[in-house]
Structure formats: C-alpha cells, structure tokens
Structure 1
Amino acid sequence: MDSVELLLDREGEQRVLADWHLLQRAGLPSLADHRSPSNAPHVTLVTAPVIGAGMDAALAEAATQALPLPLLFEGLLVFNGRRGLVLSRHVLCGPRLVAFQSSVHGLLAGAADPLPLSEPGCWIPHITLARGLSRPQLAAAVQLLEAGRTTGEATVLRRWDGARKIQRLLPPP
C-alpha cells in the first residue's frame, strides 16, 4: 500500500516521539518499537494501492504552495486494527488542512484509486502512537498519555512506496 503523508516540524515530531517512548517505557505497544529508518510521526493524507512516481511533480507543486501547514493536536482516537486496537493523536481539521488533503486526493483520484477512507469527508487526520493494543493495554496507555491540546507544523510532504519501502520527500530537499 502506498501513501502521501505530512511530516512534522522538529517540535511536533519531538512531542509525538515523547509519547512513543512513554508507551515503550511502560511496556506497552508503541511505534517506537518500529525500527525502520523511514518510521517518523506523520499524518497520512491519502492511501492507495499504488501511487506512482509520475505524480511526484504535481504533489511537489501542491506542497510548495501549501506548506508549512499549522496543525492542532487534541485528544486521542482509537481505531480497530487488523491485530488489535490502534491509538492515535487526533489532528483537528483546520480549513487549510482540509483544503490541502482534498487537493492531494483530487490530484490522485484519477491515477491512483485512493481508498475510501481517504475520501474528503471520510478522512480522519491523526498521528498513530501504537498498534496492536489489547483493551487492558489501551486503558493503561490512555492513563499514561495527556489528552490535552498542542500544536505543530507540517513542513514536508512524503510519498511512501510500500512495496519497495522507499520514501520520497516532495519537493526533494
């Protein structure tokens, strides 16, 4: 599965990494356990079976016009996952974020066949903290994490090629 994602500024990334490490130190599932060099806090904008490199120029142009993008994190979200529960930080839908996600989806709609959960109006912006949680682990994780409000910025757009495990920063640095 491929995706187009927003990466965070240093401050926002450090806040999420602190959550990951807090969960890890408590012996709970955490994305800190995922050791891939491409593993970074991010907000997925669109997911599709294949997003080809032919889309990079259009995505880079959209990123150049929209970024940096202010983000507001508030509260926690829980999703059902394939192997347990998924705990995430909720990213509130500000007008610029909604417009940018819709724009990226529109760029990809004809070429990449985005998944239904990526459709504007269905998309729920979030930053994943942990996957594969049991209900007791979820309760422990929620008690550990503060659900308050904090801010960050999306500063980089990334296209993730899931089959080849390659990330492309757009526009390239």
Structure 2
Amino acid sequence: MAHALAAFFDDAAEADIRALWRRLDDAGVPSLGTRTGGAHRPHVTLAAAGGIPGAARKALRAELELLSIPDLWLHTLGTFPGEDRVLLLGAVVDTELLAVHSAVHDALAGKVQHPSAYYFPGAWIPHCALAQGITDDQLAAGFRALQPPEAVRAGIGEIAIVDTRTGDTETLLTR
C-alpha cells in the first residue's frame, strides 16, 4: 500500500511502546524501532490504500474534526496467521473505537485508489505492531520477553496520512 491513515500516540504511550521495543531488542528480537533506525513511530493504522487523493484527505480532515477520538487500550499480545511473523499489541475494541473507524471509512468511500480490505470495517484488527518479519524462534522469544503483557493506555496525539514508501506524513488532526 502506498498510503496509510495512522493514529499516532501521545508522548506517554509512545514511550511505553518504545520501552517494549527495547525489551524485545534485549531478548534478541529486532523490534520495529530497531529495524527502522528509530524512525518508525508507534501507531494504529485505521485505513490503507494505493492512494489517498486530495479530495479524500479534505473529507477525512473535516470528519476527524467532528469526531471524539477515544483513547485506546492496547492489551492483547498476539500475532497474525500466515508466513510473515508479526508480534503485536491488540487494542480493546469497543463501540467508540468502531464508530470512529466506521466514520473514517465512510469519509473515504469511493474516494481512494485500491483500498486495502484488511482495514475495512468488520475485517480490521486494531493493533500496534511491535516486530514484524521475524522468525518463529524470535516470535517465541518475543512472547517470553513481554510476559505478562501490561496494558498501554494510548491517547491519540495525531492522525496523519503516511506515505508508506517514503515515510512522509501529512497531519490531518492533532490533539
């Protein structure tokens, strides 16, 4: 995907996630922080598409200004099925979060190029990735290093469009 709509965390939650990344690194599991030289910012992706053009960005900005964005509770340590191993902290899903997610997708409907079905309402698994592209042994070591998982209360400090190829961001909302 070329563009993602990312909800970046407040300073306290970002520090908590970066502390988890350090624990993973200490256990020999390359975290996302390490793999990107510290450039990766902890976040939850709300939507992704091949392209999010100007009209869609304008609609998103207007919609986001009207919404009450809830804090996220990142609590569940998990992974996805498939060959690409990902270690993640899953968010507790409640009606407030689902309402924001649905509103975002309503604003994007018919305005983006090649939307990713993984982020559609009903298919979306809200999460913050901790490590990806790791081996089975590293996944197991990551689970051990982060046990027992402690909940991270993640206030949303910024919502932005991220160019997934370059890392460039366009802020749509700051709190």
TM-score scaled by length of structure 1: 0.89
1:43 is paired with a residue whose SS is strand
Alignment of 1:144-159 (within 5 A): 144-145=145-146, 146-159=148-161
> Take 1:23 and 1:52, find their aligned partners in 2: how far apart are those partners?
37
Deviation at 1:169, TM superposition (A): 0.8
Q: Is the 8 A contact 1:8 1:156 kept in 2?
A: yes
- The count of residues paired between Structure 1 and Structure 2 equals 171
Is residue 2:55 matched to residue 1:60? no
Deviation at 1:3, TM superposition (A): 0.7
Q: Is the 8 A contact 1:68 1:155 kept in 2?
A: no
In structure 2, what is the equivalent of residue 98 of structure 1? Answer: 98
Deviation at 1:53, TM superposition (A): 2.9
TM-score scaled by length of structure 2: 0.88
Q: What residue identity is the alignment partner of 1:156?
A: E
Shift in alpha-carbon separation, 1:11–1:172, aligned structure 2, 3 A: closer
Q: Is the 8 A contact 2:69 2:97 kept in 1?
A: no
Unaligned runs of 5+ in 1: none
Deviation at 1:168, TM superposition (A): 0.6
Is residue 2:139 matched to residue 1:130? no
Shift in alpha-carbon separation, 1:172–1:6, aligned structure 2, 3 A: closer
In structure 2, what is the equivalent of residue 160 of structure 1? Answer: 162
Shift in alpha-carbon separation, 1:68–1:9, aligned structure 2, 3 A: farther
Q: What residue identity is the alignment partner of 2:121?
A: P
> Take 2:55 and 2:73, find their aligned partners in 1: how far apart are those partners?
32
Unaligned runs of 5+ in 2: none
Q: Is the 8 A contact 1:160 1:168 kept in 2?
A: yes
> Take 2:144 and 2:165, find their aligned partners in 1: how far apart are those partners?
36
Choose 100-109 or 51-60, whichever is displaced more: 51-60
Q: Percent identity?
A: 30
